[in-house]
Structure 1
């Protein structure tokens, strides 16, 4: 009976273990899988490394609506950094932005003519409330006209390397809604165009070059001309008046960046959030509704924060076993060791780290015909590159060539001086007589 009881107990334990495995495994597999984002186009970028960790139709050019204003924000910051204007610079409102402000369909902050506004006031209204008239006023202040400012926008887009873009105005409105104020040199029926990848790269550059932009984009509400203006980013923590209706969208760590909506563009949003020193930049374009853009952004951010961990895959000084001793010609040492001069770090999901390897690529200009490095060699001298190779199934690359660190310099670990003339001469003589001896031996062998 005892034997049967033990046998039954063992069988029960085995059954429980199998049931646990069957129950737990689907959840662990699901955690490592990707996500389905309900948007026409979307992207998620790890800010520290520039690595794209999620992409859905990222190169589809779509109207970005008010996400266009991220470029206007960038050029305002640049003009201030270059001393062209300051936050305290004042300007008055011309007829064009005033007509936009007076049009109720554009729901602006309401501007007054013959009044001085500071750059700071206009920028806050643009970045917090997505106001169109203040955006145009800033464009006119910086470039003289919106048409000239549009040229600056496209030039900066090219400089940044945005892959898909067309800027036709500073606001993101359809040109057809601007009437006689269509910016000079643009098509009256045109719309601004950006892909999710381009919007993310624009946001990446804005945050990287002018992080102070986040100090404004994270403000839920502010005062402007004795009125309270509110941020359209519902993921920010809001005051008591808005809390009940918007609380469901609040997201820990969110501090930007720009919403957008037109009938053609649909609801879109470029978001960014930081938790425990880790930041992501996301873009969703053409979602199903005003709240959906925030719900889909939250899914992207959760995916980034919960699934990815930045790991140092290869440390600085990494050496490939058996390939790091490079032969040296005419040196006091016969070989020199090479190693990577910096670490390679990347966001990792699950066991993805196992899919990374390194390949050496020596600079052929530094090698002789025998594949040897010619002395002298300085410590820290670049000998070639170490290329990081990913052999996994999915790799969406990096947001920009500058952020792609998959090619690392390979440098000499020691100095190898050139051998003195006497030793080089002895070596040459030895080589000469060695060749003669070999020739004689070969000749003699030929006699027999």
Structure 2
């Protein structure tokens, strides 16, 4: 009997010990339960419309982005074109620095000639399609006068775009040691650009949303660069093997809907890729960093896209003219009507994971700056007057948030008045005030009488 009692006590203490230890074991959030089997150092998948993150893995680890850095060069060029500081047909002379880099056939390049002038568009296409490094530096010199000045622009723009985890030391993404001692001043000889997967996705998000025309060039599978050595043309096969029209043996990596964006590889970076694809009106942005081979980056990207397009779709959560139960009207002060109906001005849509529609609850946020202390409008009130916005609260577990802190502002629609309310005339207002006075007086009398008999 004593042995049995000791055994029971021992088992109870053991159970309590393991229960206590379990409470201290690190636990992953529910959102980390998604396992895609990615063979990459870091990755992220994002809805390109809202910036909503659908999947991430080591997304804040800073790694070399290699030629994915050229997305910043593309952004600054397209911005300069848009601001009319540079034109597509502007002719460019090739500097000694650009010439020497462009002749290095161990790097991705179109060999440039010093006796020929190139248009900005020709250099841009060779950068966007073939990742030509010499052309990239030439464009940096056009925009900023020197690559040193351009690197400052890159870092300033990165701060403006809220990339957070970044450092740019050159325009191309090469290691500075590849620049033959001519790397930008103030940067180390063995330095290389650094970005996190999240920062890279932010850059891609801004690039394709601010300048969607970048995809017109990034999606070109093959093009001839006509001004090659001694006039010989160079076939520029896009490094993005996931393009649907990519020729030859690369077709095995083609993926429906892919139309960009930028590959990269150096000995330090490994092989990386920022991709974007659109299907059924939903565009995704993916980033994979430090994969094992030139083609592994596309295989890992395929896993991300398959997950995104198979499990998510854009859904209408709440239709136009939606009214939240119990919050269908607002009181109106000094108006001919005492209240006015309010409703959403348009439907609210978002990217939703399969079978999770019921986890999104409507949320009405009224604009306190236009409402009085009593949460009411003051007449006159115009039809369609904005009084707040309709958004949602997600009650599920798979919540990675957004690329940007204010990302949820894209996930809302205006709430407006459904009718106008005219201001009451002076007589009505006066009578209302008198009525209110006597009502208050009568209420005071009644309270006084109650006090006597209480």
TM-score (norm 2): 0.85
2:311 corresponds to which residue? 307
What does residue 52 of structure 2 align with?
51
Q: Which residue of 1 aligns with 2:5?
A: none
Pairing 1:68-217 to 2, within 5 Å after superposition = 68-217=69-218
Instruction: Give 1:130 deviation, angstroms.
Output: 0.9
Q: CA RMSD in A?
A: 2.2
Work out whether residues 398 and 404 of structure 1, in 8 Å CA contact, stay in contact via their aligned partners in 2.
no
- Counterpart Cα distance in 2 of 1:326 and 1:237: 53
Q: Which of these residues, 276, 282, 285, is aligned with residue 278 of structure 1?
A: 282
Instruction: Judge which range, 397-406 or 274-283, deviates more.
Output: 397-406
In the other structure, the counterpart of 1:425 is 430
358, 362, 379: which one pairs with 1:358? 362
1:371–1:84 CA distance, 2 compared to 1 (3 A): closer
Q: Distance in 2 between matches of 1:430 and 1:313?
A: 45
Q: Confirm or deny: 8 A CA contact 2:244 2:257 kept in the other structure.
A: no
- Assess if the C-alpha contact under 8 Å between 2:282 and 2:313 holds in 1: no
CA distance in 1 between partners of 2:85 and 2:47 (Å) = 33
- Maintained 8 Å contact 2:45/2:286: yes
- 2:241 is aligned, of 208, 230, 234, to 234
Looking at structure 1, the residues matched to 303 and 316 of structure 2 have their Cα atoms a distance apart, in angstroms, of: 26
Deviates most, 378-387 or 307-316: 378-387
Partner of 1:15: none
The Cα offsets for residues 254-312 of structure 1, whole Å up to 9 and x where unpaired, read as 22111001111111001112234432211111112221100011111112222211111
Over 3 Å counting, the alpha-carbon distance change for 1:38 and 1:374 in structure 2 is same
Residue range with higher mean Cα deviation, 141-150 or 370-379: 370-379
Cα separation, 1, equivalents of 2:209 and 2:371: 39
Shift in Å at residue 329 of structure 1? Answer: 2.3
Q: How does 1:260-275 map to 2 (within 5 A)?
A: 260-275=264-279
* Secondary structure at 1:105 match in 2: coil
Unaligned runs of 5+ residues in structure 1 are: 1-31
SS across alignment from 1:337: strand
8 A Cα contact 1:51 1:404, kept in partner = no
CA distance in 1, matches of 2:444, 2:119: 89
- Give the Cα separation in 2 of the matches to 1:392 and 1:208: 28
Q: 1:444 to 1:169 in 2, by over 3 A?
A: same
Q: Which residue is equivalent to 2:63?
A: 62
Query: Is 1:50–1:404's contact at 8 Å kept on the other side of the alignment?
Result: no
User: Residue 436 of structure 1: which of 435, 441, 444 is its match?
Assistant: 441
Give yes or no for the alignment of 1:329 onto 2:329: no
In structure 2, the CA distance between the partners of 1:404 and 1:327, relative to structure 1 (3 Å rule), is closer
Aligned length: 414
Q: TM-score, normalised to structure 1's length?
A: 0.86
Partner of 1:395: 399
Distance 1:233 1:179 in 2: 27
Gap change, CA 1:129 and 1:446, over 3 Å in 2: closer
Distance 1:90 1:121 in 2: 10
1:62-111 Cα offsets, whole Å, 9 max, x none, are: 11000001111122222222222222221121111122123343252222
